[in-house]
């Protein structure tokens, strides 16, 4: 992406997000969001993250990579367990990076 296009992208992301922050403050002081909308909005972030994560883990160089040589997938096992058990970002990152680096050396 060109620097100019990238700057434009950053600013449009910021503008869209700013509206998400401001509009409810202005409009919802009297009315409330319907239950189904609250529910839908609550489910979206997890779904986006999972979609992103699955692509990172299962697709390598544009192809499905469901093999034991896929280091991204193998390193996910200890990393996910630590994330789940500790709920600590630093430990999760350290586990992920260390197991990825070790596995890479073992396999290649």
Distance CA 77, CA 80 (A): 5
Instruction: Establish if 16 lies at the interface with another protein (CB under 8 A).
Output: yes
Which residue from 67, 68, 90, 108 is in contact with another protein, where contact means CB under 8 A? 90
Which residue from 44, 61, 67, 108 is in contact with another protein, where contact means CB under 8 A? 44
Distance CA 69, CA 104 (A): 9
Q: Smallest distance, Å, CB 36 to another protein?
A: 5
Instruction: Establish if 42 lies at the interface with another protein (CB under 8 A).
Output: yes
DSSP 59: E
Which residue from 67, 76, 106, 107 is in contact with another protein, where contact means CB under 8 A? 76
- The answer for residues whose C-beta is within 8 angstroms of residue 3's C-beta and 6 or more apart is none
Instruction: Establish if 98 lies at the interface with another protein (CB under 8 A).
Output: yes
CB 83 within 8 A of CB 92: yes
Distance CA 31, CA 34 (A): 9
Instruction: Establish if 65 lies at the interface with another protein (CB under 8 A).
Output: no
Q: Smallest distance, Å, CB 76 to another protein?
A: 7
Instruction: Establish if 108 lies at the interface with another protein (CB under 8 A).
Output: no
């Amino acid at each position: 992406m060109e620097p100019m296009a990238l700057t434009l992208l950053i600013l449009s992301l910021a503008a869209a997000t700013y509206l998400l922050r401001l509009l409810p403050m202005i409009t919802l002081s009297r009315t409330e969001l319907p239950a189904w909308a609250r529910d839908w909005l609550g489910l979206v972030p997890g779904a986006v993250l999972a979609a992103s994560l699955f692509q990172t883990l299962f697709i390598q160089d544009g192809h499905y990579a469901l093999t034991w040589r896929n280091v991204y997938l193998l390193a996910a096992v200890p990393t996910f367990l630590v994330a789940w058990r500790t709920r600590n970002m630093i430990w999760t990152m350290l586990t992920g990076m260390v197991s990825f680096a070790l596995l890479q050396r073992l396999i290649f």
